[in-house]
Amino acid sequence: MPIKIDKLIRSRRRSISLEITREAQLVVRMPRYANVREVKQFILEKRVWIEKKIKEIAQRANKNTPKRFIPGEKFYYLGEKYPLKNIKGQSTKLKFNNGFYLEEGNTPVAKNIFTKWYKRQAKLNISKRVSWYSTLYKLRPNKIKITSASGRWGSCTTQGNLNFTWKLILLPLKILDYVVVHELAHLKQPNHSKIFWVEVEKMLPDYRERRKWLKKNGEEYTL
């Protein structure tokens, strides 16, 4: 049975690359003028790897039960889990103080409330980390955008714009930093060549450990 390509992206890259998203979709990136037959052959050669990754994602998905937003349930923030409490007469719908406090009666729309709160915190914290590393290593990103992307933690456009999913705010700060540094390094090297990883290592000598942790544990950090 042939493997389905969910998204095919052509660009000025030199080689073919494969990505399995957190939704178990196959994304293929290929040179603009590459032969489609070459792509199919490449996928065929990587079939075992593709099927293994999709199976792993399915297994992790079974472990991640949907949130119910009930008192006592725990939610991630910068890598730590904090309990949820319902509060009556609170001035705002959601507050954080070593725990999450939800205005009573908002359980049906709690996911939207949490998402908005996380997005605000992501914008604040990620902007600070981008600014810190940019100043330290004399980099000049253009704009910073917080997205709801679920397939990628971050991306860098050819215009120097940095995009980050708000879900980064759920991760430990050192892992968030890795994603920030990864995208900043793309300002110098738009690909994932050896030169690119040298740039990452200059900023984060232990990036390999952080990258490995993210690949292994990232799927657990969701809402």
Range of the domain at 107: 74-220
Phi and psi angles of residue 7, each rounded to the nearest 5 degrees, phi first:
-150, 130
Which residues make Cβ contacts (< 8 Å) with residue 77, sequence separation at least 6? 96, 118, 121, 169, 170
Domain membership of residue 2 (yes or no) is: no
State pTM to two decimals: 0.76
Question: Among 42, 63, 84, where does a domain finish?
Answer: 63
Q: What are the Cα distances from residue 103, in Å, to 89, 119, 120, 161?
A: 7, 19, 18, 36
Domain membership of residue 94 (yes or no) is: yes
* Nearest in space to 85 (alpha carbons), one of 62, 68, 104, 66: 104
Domain membership of residue 161 (yes or no) is: yes
Domain count, the chain: 2
Query: Looking at the structure, do residues 157 and 84 belong to the same domain, yes or no?
Result: yes
pLDDT digits (tens, 9 = 90+) for 197-206: 999 999 999 9
Q: How far apart are CA 110 and CA 69, in angstroms?
A: 7
pLDDT digits (tens, 9 = 90+) for 128-186: 999 999 999 999 999 999 999 887 899 999 999 999 999 999 999 999 999 999 999 99
Q: How far apart are CA 80 and CA 90, in angstroms?
A: 24
Query: Looking at the structure, do residues 118 and 174 belong to the same domain, yes or no?
Result: yes
| 166 CB-contact burial (10 Å; exposed 0-12 / middle 13-18 / buried 19+) | buried
